[in-house]
Amino acid sequence: MITIEFNGLAQELGYNSSLLQLIELKNLNPKSLALVLNDQVVPRSRWAQIECQHSDKIDVFSAVAGG
């Protein structure tokens, strides 16, 4: 079991999941999100390849169109 920080809240994961699996577990639409892992923006194309690690800090933001 690992503990991560997701949008400022501690959360335990029963197994190492990818960033994409975590987003899906939260029932979020990955197409409308931006993700920051440990203060680094992660391109959506890499979410399936990166596994969550103990103490990771993950922040998710909704993409909003505007001008």
Contact 36, 42 (CB under 8 A): yes
Q: Which fold, 2-62?
A: Ubiquitin-like (UB roll) (3.10.20)
Token representation of residue 65 = 């169109």
What are the domain boundaries of the chain? 2-62
pTM of this prediction? 0.88
Contact 20, 52 (CB under 8 A): no
Residue 66's pLDDT is: 67
Q: What is the pLDDT of residues 16-38, one digit of tens each?
A: 899 999 999 999 999 989 999 99
Contact 5, 58 (CB under 8 A): yes
Pairing of β 33-37 and β 57-62: antiparallel
Tell me the average pLDDT of the chain. Answer: 92
Q: How far apart are CA 51 and CA 48, in angstroms?
A: 8
